[in-house]
Amino acid sequence: MCNIEVWIYPDCLASAVTGPLDIFAAANAIWAAKNRDRTGPLFTWSIRSLDGNPVKTPSGIQIAADGAIENEAGDTDVVMLPGIYIDKGVAGLLANLQQLQPLYPLLQQRYRQGSLLAANCSASFLLAEAELLDGGHATTTWWLERAFRARYPQVELRLADVLTEYERMLCSGAGTSYLNMSLHLVQRYAGQDIAAVCAKSMLIDANRTSQMPYISMTQQDSQSHSNSLVLRAQKWMSKRQDLPFSLRDLAAHLAVSERTVIRHFHQALDSTPTAYSQLLKIDLAKRLLETSTLSLDTVSERIGYADPGSFRRLFKRETGLSPADYRQQFRQRKNMPA
């Protein structure tokens, strides 16, 4: 048996609370069908808030708590932390972390008492704030990569991974990666067979191991800094994704030296203008692969690459997929089946 507590708090994602519970309920049903001689469910759970009161999520759904979070773990095997909704960039995240400070000693206490801590999406920041990930590794939602690295240099961020485990702490990547985390827990406590049936019945891709194909540089970097010169550069570059990149032209547009541009990019993004330009071109290539039937050679030309081979190698390096495989997985189909 596995007893789970799901902790809820202001701005937590409703789906990251209810989604895992639906998966555990499905696992219970599958397990019961295979073990008719057993009594009682395999997974039990409760929902807890800091004060025992309901929490209204950003989507407007109010989630009732079964009680307040207690200092003692009791028979709790797993504490699940749903992702935090962030609509005001890194500044909004920092405000959330400040507001949720009462959680940190509770997380430390539960970890000392032997509970497994499972953090979805941006909730990995809570484990890092509690200093539980120091010297270890984690993943998080991809668009907060720079904020995580800057705030927690003592934690190895494995951004490509959908799921990481360090000692008794699980972290999952962006948004719906709670599905993969929940399946991992089903496999851990119920076995691979139950987890496989659960994944099929719930239509979950259990083999999703990387979030690299989902990363958008334009979305990630627009919310990761406040350097006005780099923001101007990014705006200029985003309008020229289909043209060969020229550092000289960029510096002329900004009316500064090339060295100044490079220095500001390093300070704001820990990158170079050339590398950033390449990632912008990858974003454009993704959109073309998703929305058109253009040949790969034509896509390469459209993003300013004369050598299709160089484009393919760059695309595979940055996304983990070949352009053809990416199109197969993410192509937008105009007509849904009747």
Note whether 174 and 271 are same-domain residues.
Answer: no
Asked which of 156, 191, 212 is the last residue of a domain, the reply is 212
Cβ neighbours, 10 Å, residue 50: 17
User: Quick one: 1 exposed, middle or buried, by C-beta within 10 A (0-12, 13-18, 19+)?
Assistant: exposed
Residue 246 counted as domain residue:
yes
Note whether 154 and 258 are same-domain residues.
Answer: no
Using DSSP, state whether 79 is helix, strand or coil: strand
Residue 247 belongs to domain spanning = 217-330
Note whether 99 and 180 are same-domain residues.
Answer: yes
Note whether 42 and 189 are same-domain residues.
Answer: yes
Q: Are 55 and 10 in contact (CB under 8 A)?
A: yes
Mean pLDDT by 10 residues, the chain (338 residues): 96 97 97 84 96 96 96 90 90 92 97 97 98 98 91 96 97 96 97 96 91 79 76 93 93 97 92 92 93 94 90 92 93 62
**Mind spelling out the 3-state secondary structure of 92-137?**
HHHHHHHHCCCHHHHHHHHHHCCCEEEECHHHHHHHHHCCCCCCCE
- For residues 266 and 268, what is the distance between their CA atoms, to the nearest angstrom? 6
CATH number of residue 265's parent domain: 1.10.10.60
pLDDT at 225: 76
- For residues 289 and 335, what is the distance between their CA atoms, to the nearest angstrom? 17
Q: Name the DSSP class of 161.
A: B
Q: How many domains does the chain have?
A: 2
Asked which of 193, 212, 231 is the last residue of a domain, the reply is 212
Asked which of 212, 227, 255 is the last residue of a domain, the reply is 212
- For residues 263 and 273, what is the distance between their CA atoms, to the nearest angstrom? 10
β-bridge mates for residue 138, sequence order: 157
Note whether 197 and 59 are same-domain residues.
Answer: yes
pLDDT at 338: 46
pLDDT at 256: 97
Residue 96 counted as domain residue:
yes
Q: Transcribe 290-306 into DSSP letters.
A: HH----HHHHHHHTT-S
Note whether 82 and 34 are same-domain residues.
Answer: yes
Q: Which residue has the tokens 């160089």?
A: 310
Angle between helices 247-254 and 228-238 (to 10 degrees): 130
Note whether 141 and 262 are same-domain residues.
Answer: no
